[in-house]
Amino acid sequence: MDPKIKEVLDKSISLVESSQDPDKTYLEIFGKSGIFTALTAEIKNIEPANRAAFGRGLNSAKSQIEELLKKKKLSTFNSQLSTEFIDITAPGKKQKVGHLHLVSQAIKEIVAIFTKIGFSLQSYPEVDWDWYAFDSLNMPKNHPARDDFETFFVKSEKNPRYGQQVLTPHTSNGQVREMERVKPPIRMLNIARCYRRQIDISHTPMFHQFEGLYIDKNVSIPQLKGTFDFFTTNFFGPKRTTRLRPHHFRFTEPSFEVDVTCGVCQGRGCRLCKSGWLELGGAGMVHPNVLKAGGIDPNKYCGFAFGWGIERTIAMKTELPDIRLFYQNDLRFLEQF
Ligand code: DAH
């Protein structure tokens, strides 16, 4: 064996034998400025005729040292084990398990309830044309919701037929899209993020709505009311009921606001609700102009539609004071659900 190799091998063996920390010793030998690494660099100074033999010598020295290091590591570990006290009776550390955000939980619940009565979940663009978000819903150009103070407009080229693009301010953009997708009977549920330029105790600029659309022959207001009652008893519990209050929306005629009895006083009236009722969302019988925009003959078909905010609906179930809590990602809040 080349004397240079022999010298490094002997030095390495004594390093390993006296080592307290085999990982550190490995670095002293094979690390960037280790003694063996320096030796390897020597190969370029060896006569070409002797290089192969020198290389073989290096390899055999390397495996000897590595083998010794492996043994040393095992014996160090074993002697640590025999001196260390492991309390096998100590309780284990409990792993924290996460869960779905309460909005996602509510979405699952809402889908399950409406699926039972034949509605099926669809999804449509969240960045959509003016036409689907407003015009096709019978909303004129000067409607206040179309002000850029209310709705987020996306910088885009104007399409001659569909207009500009907006971040959908409601899920009603799905109505005409669904009429274009399938022929009646239609039982659509559309759940999506919506965007409006508003933030306060009961609004966040991004929120969720669920929209229902039912179109068939001879659809009636009692069916609409029955659908809400079915949802309400399943989502809020058997003691809560709904009422329809006359209202105005451009895309329904007649239009209603849907109220649900307050969960605190069960409709008797309390400090939270004042009247005994909490407002849930809008609804009505689909306007003939909307059916026409979707290519459906209003003389043959009619239907109802409704659109409610998910965060607001959850807040009414759990008596939450501030909608913004949903999106502050405070675990002290989220862990409660
Ligand atoms: N799009 C309305 C809103 O965001 C809610 C709404 C009202 C939806 C009446 C409907 C409806 O489908 O029929 O305020």
The pLDDT tens digits for 226-247 are 999 999 999 999 999 999 999 9
- Mean of pLDDT over the chain: 94
| Residue ID of nearest Cα to ligand 1 atom 10 | 306
Tell me which DSSP letter residue 277 carries. E
**pLDDT band, residue 318 (cuts 50/70/90):** confident
Output the ligand 1 site: residues, CB below 6 A: 170, 172, 211, 249, 251-252, 281-284, 305-307
DSSP SS3 for 226 = helix
pLDDT digits (tens, 9 = 90+) for 176-214: 999 999 999 999 999 999 999 999 988 999 999 999 999
* pLDDT at position 101: 96
Pocket test for ligand 1, best of 166, 286, 306 (most atoms within 8 A of CB): 306
| Residue ID of nearest Cα to ligand 1 atom 8 | 307
- The answer to whether the beta carbons of residues 11 and 35 sit under 8 Å apart is yes
**Which atom of ligand 1 lies at the shortest distance from residue 169's CA?**
4
Residue for token pair 């004594």: 14
260 contacts: CB under 8 Å, gap ≥ 6: 232, 236, 240, 241, 242, 277, 278, 280, 316
pLDDT digits (tens, 9 = 90+) for 5-49: 999 999 999 999 999 999 999 999 999 999 999 999 988 998 899
> Cα separation of 294 and 135, whole Å?
11
**Which atom of ligand 1 lies at the shortest distance from residue 212's CA?**
12
What are the chain's domains? 3-83 (no CATH), 102-122+183-334 (3.30.930.10)
Residue for token pair 């209050």: 245
**Which atom of ligand 1 lies at the shortest distance from residue 282's CA?**
7
> Cα separation of 209 and 172, whole Å?
9
Residue 245 Cα to ligand 1 middle (Å):
14
CA nearest neighbour of 27 among 41, 17, 37: 37
Tell me which DSSP letter residue 189 carries. E
**DSSP-derived secondary structure for 76-129:** HHHHHHHHS---TTSPPPPPP-----HHHHHHHHHHHHHHHTT-EEE---SEEE
